[in-house]
Chain A
Amino acid sequence: MPANPLQPFFKQRGWRPFPFQKETWKAYAGGKSGLLHAPTGQGKTLAVWLGPVAEALKERPDGCSVVWLTPLRALAQDTLRSLREPLEVLAPQLQVEARTGDTTSAVRARLRKRLPFGLVTTPESLSLMLTHDDTREKLAGLRAVIVDEWHELLGTKRGVQTELCLARLRAWFPELRVWGLSATLGNLDEARDVLLGSAAPGAVTVSADLKKEIRIDTLIPKEIDRFPWSGHLGTRLAPQVVRELEKANSTLLFTNTRSQTELWFQELLSLRPDWQEVIAMHHGSLDRAEREKVEQGLREGRLRCVVCTSSLDLGVDFSPVDQVLQVGSPKGIARLLQRAGRSGHQPGKVSRVLGVPTHAMELVEFAAARDAALARHIEARRPLLKPLDVLVQHLVTCAIGEPFQPDAMRQEIQLTHAYRDLTDTEWEWSLGFISSGGRALAAYPRYQKARLENGRFTVDDKRLIQQHRMSIGTISADAHVSVRFASGQTLGTVEEGFISRLKPGNLLIFAGRKLELVRFHQRIATVRPAKRDAKGNVAIWGGAKMPLSTELAHATAARLRGEGPPSAEMKAVAPILEIQRRWSAVPDDRILLVEHTRSRNDEHLFVYPLAGRLVHEGLGALMAYRLRLNQGVAITQNDYGFCLTARRGLHLSEQIIRLNLSPDNLLEDVIACMNTAELARRQFHQVARVAGLILQQLPGRQQRGQRELQASSRLLFEVLERYDPDNLLLLQSQREILEKQLEYSRLRESLLDLQQRPIRLIETDHLTPMAFPLWAEQFFATMPGGGDAASQFEQMLQELQTAAAS
């Protein structure tokens, strides 16, 4: 029995293996691959790790047996610690090391010579290893690859990169076993199939259902506002939050965006200045040293409260905290469960999360999230299909490592889930792209990356190899700007787009401080502390707003219909819903509620599909376009619906509304109305970087010879559009933008669904509680301009003249 050799470890700890651990060990010993679904906690690590360890105890392997992939290099050190623990008792001779972007050059050099029994690394570093010609030899003893936090990689380009690397390893070592670890997902079986590709018959899914009890409560505001417009309650619940913080020793306060993190941190400090030392902030853009200090503080129990974003969603053995608070709707059920799991970490203990609503409708969302969590209606994560930028990068990676024969490589690639439907055209284009530039051969006279030699593709130019290795780590990383003081002290990074909107002298809040921008040059933003009395607009740096997930939207609709057990949240929000019912009707996802109302100058049409912000954005633009309202219409949206505002032309019949929400011609209309060309141009930056069209360089360290090889992705996009319009990367950025910015698939499904729903059109005298936030949004709304540059400029000039004349 595989459990036997592991006995000493469990005995020493006084533990007994869980059934799911035994099940995983057995499956592993039987030569199977699979997916282990378990909540955070050490149990899952031991389940997948001790299988290979038990095998090693019997067979005394030489070299590297296990590669452990972790999505975040920040997790590598924690992982290392928890993998080493059992080895100290069971097999002190077995080594585990980490190799990531953070690894020191000394360790790196040692690892170049000889790999340890277990190697902890990231998808990028694994991909990088594939560019070395001795990797196959050095991994000759590889038995297993374990992919930690697979749910984090699934649906991302790094996930696809992982799929490709695994395909390579499987082609080298057909006996390889692959195990994934995943938190709860709505599509666990699909997640497993994506990880294992089509080459793993008899794969298993092991579920560690520890019957974890989860409690979701909500902080009920003392007086509910009549109108729940978003952000209205804001930080007003902060005093109540402080009282909750006082009750516990340690708290994680999760927010949805970095700007909220900054706001709440400031607010809590202003209420309790004496907490200066015991309250901290953690988000992905803070400097690594800063983050590590916070993590260490949590482990040592020095901190009373950490205000954080999803940057603390992950983590191997973060010391559990007493309680978790969630500010604002979690927007998804899986996210809420994962965050709840940060408290009561140990098996058997209750995980508890306390919701802090920032506007009244979020009370409903918290009640709905609880319903869905109890019923285990969790979001699915859809895998990405055929990102060609990742494929061409991988092909160059492979060609550098060891020359490949195209047919064999195609077979290998098509064993992955992402590329199983790769067409001849796409494959030939990809090969063409890495060798001669593209199908428009004449357009690339001087280009050559991979050469075909004796029927195999190879890359042997040293400079190109070096350049390619630099580009491997770039998947999914946005263009970031480092924020620092003139003294050189780094505060963290922000998206380039944020800083480029500011001018020197402007104020910003970042890393918990009020700062003034001094200079922005070569991807470094120099700042200084703002003077205390500094006035002017403060730019708060915010992450993207997440849309409500489909699952949570359904659960919310059910609550609005009055389903579900009685709850404090619904009781609190009842007066508002009552007004809504009296003046109009409560929206629901079985009907389509539409309100029409007039204000002094305008008409407003409020439509409530309950399909999430991004879908509503698409629907609003689509409807305005189809009604030919392009000039002089304002469109606003939130998670419940969208609103069109115009001088006239919105008094519509049910029939007209239905006609304008038809799914016919959707793609053409969306492309026409959403300025997708402009959006795709922006998206192209990432695609171009991954595909190797943009040279990578370290911020602030511009090499001289490279200066003349700089071009903006916008320019590249235009050049490709003009001279190589069949380049598939153009098509891909359009596809990506449709899915990412507009959730195109969900938009289409919504339209199909709306066709089935009866429409309830109500003429209202006042703005209803649901309408008010949409109406208020219009003062902040921005709209992509229509038409070409000339007509846009023309219109601006006209407006200016009109304004001057009046």
Chain B
Amino acid sequence: MILEHFNQTLELIPGKAVLLADRTLVVGDLHLGKATAFQAKGLAIPEGDSSADLNRLGTICEQVRASRIVINGDLFHSPAGLSTEIERLLETWISTIGLPVELVLGNHDQKLARLPSWLTAVTSVEHAGVHLVHDPADAPDDVPVVAAHWHPVAKIADGKRTSLRLPCFLLRRNVLVLPSFGSFTGGAIVDREEGDRMFVAPGDRVIEVPVKLLR
């Protein structure tokens, strides 16, 4: 779905990513190693997401012929989750993908004592006229922004019998908030504000949710 946003073109991809006009692919909140972090604390949650999520991201890059990847924050979940296996996994993935990968630091990433040395990390970045920053609270209000961090979820109900809870893109004024990309991440139902628009992709296309169906 193509969205004209403050004179910039954003393409919302069903796989929870945004493609900018210069074919920069933006995703947020991967939370790699989250299951590992749980395991380290004695909770038996199976690992498997991290590599599956990276493969999924790779497929999207191919499909949309991306020229660059920006991870808009929270690539890693926590220090306990940044195991050598995860680090190696990511390094291999980046070398096979063959695209420049930039990391915008998220609140979770900042807790790490060190980041892998081969990873470029910035606090915010601009591509194709769009400002990319992790926390919507840090967004400037006069330029188009793509942010993440909130893990927005739309609550959709017809008021009769069906009610759904779907990860969504949230467009609020000049900021587009990405749904969280990682499959082992939760979400928070959006506290709606006047003028908010939400987009979901329960199937293979992105659809805007009519306000009437939002709860």
Report the separation of the CA atoms of residues A630 and B47 in the bound assembly, to the nearest whole angstrom. 38
Q: Inside 8 A of A433's CB, which chain B residues have their CB?
A: 44
Identify which of residues 459-498 in chain A touch chain B, using a CB-to-CB cut-off of 8 Å: 461, 463-464, 467
* A693 on the B face (CB < 8 A): yes
B43 touches A715 (CB 8 A): no
Q: Inside 8 A of B48's CB, which chain A residues have their CB?
A: 443, 719, 722-724
State the Cβ distance, B12 to closest chain A Cβ, in Å. 16
Q: Inside 8 A of B183's CB, which chain A residues have their CB?
A: 718-719, 722
Q: 1/0 per residue B39-53: CB within 8 Å of A?
A: 111111111110010
Q: Inside 8 A of B161's CB, which chain A residues have their CB?
A: 781-785
A693 touches B45 (CB 8 A): yes
A793 touches B38 (CB 8 A): no
B39 touches A800 (CB 8 A): no
Q: Choose the segment among B94-102, B113-121, B139-147, B202-210 that binds chain A (4+ C-beta atoms closer than 8 Å).
A: B202-210
In-complex Cβ contact of B42 among A449, A712, A784, A796 (8 A): A449
Q: Inside 8 A of B162's CB, which chain A residues have their CB?
A: 785, 792, 795-796
Given contacts A695-B43, A719-B48, 19 further A-B pairs with CB under 8 A are A437-B44, A437-B46, A444-B45, A445-B85, A446-B80, A449-B42, A708-B37, A708-B77, A709-B37, A709-B41, A711-B38, A722-B48, A724-B46, A781-B161, A785-B163, A792-B162, A796-B162, A797-B210, A797-B213
A793 touches B43 (CB 8 A): no
Report the separation of the CA atoms of residues A720 and B46 in the bound assembly, to the nearest whole angstrom. 7
Some 26 contacts from A to B, beta carbons below 8 A apart, are A438-B44, A444-B46, A444-B47, A446-B39, A447-B45, A463-B41, A463-B42, A692-B42, A692-B43, A693-B44, A695-B41, A708-B78, A709-B37, A711-B186, A722-B48, A722-B52, A723-B48, A724-B48, A727-B46, A785-B163, A789-B202, A790-B202, A793-B207, A794-B203, A796-B156, A796-B162
* B158 on the A face (CB < 8 A): yes
A719 touches B203 (CB 8 A): no
* B200 on the A face (CB < 8 A): yes
Q: 1/0 per residue A708-747: CB within 8 Å of B?
A: 1111100110111011100100000000000000000000
* A799 on the B face (CB < 8 A): yes
Q: Inside 8 A of A709's CB, which chain B residues have their CB?
A: 37-38, 41, 43
Q: Residues of A at under 8 Å CB distance from B?
A: 433, 437-438, 440, 442-449, 461, 463-464, 467, 692-695, 708-712, 715-716, 718-720, 722-724, 727, 781-785, 788-790, 792-797, 799-800
* B25 on the A face (CB < 8 A): no
B47 touches A793 (CB 8 A): no
Report the separation of the CA atoms of residues A218 and B167 in the bound assembly, to the nearest whole angstrom. 54
B184 touches A719 (CB 8 A): yes
Report the separation of the CA atoms of residues A788 and B162 in the bound assembly, to the nearest whole angstrom. 11
B44 touches A449 (CB 8 A): yes
Report the separation of the CA atoms of residues A449 and B164 in the bound assembly, to the nearest whole angstrom. 36
In-complex Cβ contact of B186 among A445, A448, A715, A796 (8 A): A715
B47 touches A445 (CB 8 A): yes
Q: Inside 8 A of A788's CB, which chain B residues have their CB?
A: 202
B43 touches A443 (CB 8 A): no
B46 touches A438 (CB 8 A): yes
Most chain A CB within 10 A, of B44, B45, B163, B213, is at B44
Report the separation of the CA atoms of residues A449 and B40 in the bound assembly, to the nearest whole angstrom. 9
B77 touches A445 (CB 8 A): no
Interchain residue pairs A-B with the least CB separation, the first 5: A723-B48, A790-B203, A443-B46, A447-B39, A790-B202
**Provided the pairs A783-B161, A799-B158 are in contact, do residues A444 and B44 lie with their beta carbons within 8 angstroms?**
yes
* B60 on the A face (CB < 8 A): no
Report the separation of the CA atoms of residues A368 and B37 in the bound assembly, to the nearest whole angstrom. 58
**Provided the pairs A709-B37, A793-B164, A797-B207 are in contact, do residues A443 and B47 lie with their beta carbons within 8 angstroms?**
yes
Q: Inside 8 A of A799's CB, which chain B residues have their CB?
A: 158
Q: Inside 8 A of B203's CB, which chain A residues have their CB?
A: 790, 794
B42 touches A437 (CB 8 A): no
A796 touches B38 (CB 8 A): no
B78 touches A719 (CB 8 A): no
* B36 on the A face (CB < 8 A): yes
Report the separation of the CA atoms of residues A775 and B185 in the bound assembly, to the nearest whole angstrom. 43
State the Cβ distance, B186 to closest chain A Cβ, in Å. 5
A793 touches B46 (CB 8 A): no
**Provided the pairs A443-B48, A715-B184, A800-B213 are in contact, do residues A793 and B156 lie with their beta carbons within 8 angstroms?**
yes
State the Cβ distance, A370 to closest chain B Cβ, in Å. 40
In-complex Cβ contact of A793 among B45, B186, B202 (8 A): B202
A719 touches B210 (CB 8 A): no
* B105 on the A face (CB < 8 A): no
Q: Inside 8 A of A463's CB, which chain B residues have their CB?
A: 41-42
State the Cβ distance, B97 to closest chain A Cβ, in Å. 23
Q: Inside 8 A of A789's CB, which chain B residues have their CB?
A: 164, 166, 202
Identify which of residues 177-215 in chain B touch chain A, using a CB-to-CB cut-off of 8 Å: 183-186, 200, 202-203, 207, 210, 212-213
Q: Inside 8 A of A447's CB, which chain B residues have their CB?
A: 39-40, 42-45
Most chain B CB within 10 A, of A442, A449, A708, A789, is at A708
- Give the nearest-CB partner of B83 in chain A: A446
* B173 on the A face (CB < 8 A): no
**Provided the pairs A437-B39, A793-B202 are in contact, do residues A800 and B45 lie with their beta carbons within 8 angstroms?**
no
* B5 on the A face (CB < 8 A): no
State the Cβ distance, A201 to closest chain B Cβ, in Å. 39
Q: 1/0 per residue B54-91: CB within 8 Å of A?
A: 00000000000000000000000110100101000000
Q: 1/0 per residue B17-49: CB within 8 Å of A?
A: 000000000000000001111111111111111
Q: Inside 8 A of B164's CB, which chain A residues have their CB?
A: 789, 792-793
* B172 on the A face (CB < 8 A): no
* B108 on the A face (CB < 8 A): yes
Most chain A CB within 10 A, of B39, B40, B156, B183, is at B39
State the Cβ distance, B169 to closest chain A Cβ, in Å. 15
B42 touches A464 (CB 8 A): yes
- Give the nearest-CB partner of A710 in chain B: B186
- Give the nearest-CB partner of A634 in chain B: B161
- Give the nearest-CB partner of B212 in chain A: A800
State the Cβ distance, B181 to closest chain A Cβ, in Å. 14
Q: Inside 8 A of A444's CB, which chain B residues have their CB?
A: 39, 44-47
Report the separation of the CA atoms of residues A358 and B158 in the bound assembly, to the nearest whole angstrom. 32
**Provided the pairs A785-B162, A795-B162, A800-B210 are in contact, do residues A723 and B46 lie with their beta carbons within 8 angstroms?**
yes
- Give the nearest-CB partner of A782 in chain B: B161
State the Cβ distance, B179 to closest chain A Cβ, in Å. 14
**Provided the pairs A719-B35, A719-B49, A789-B202 are in contact, do residues A446 and B40 lie with their beta carbons within 8 angstroms?**
yes
Report the separation of the CA atoms of residues A720 and B36 in the bound assembly, to the nearest whole angstrom. 14
Report the separation of the CA atoms of residues A444 and B42 in the bound assembly, to the nearest whole angstrom. 10
Q: Inside 8 A of B80's CB, which chain A residues have their CB?
A: 446
A723 touches B83 (CB 8 A): no
B42 touches A467 (CB 8 A): yes
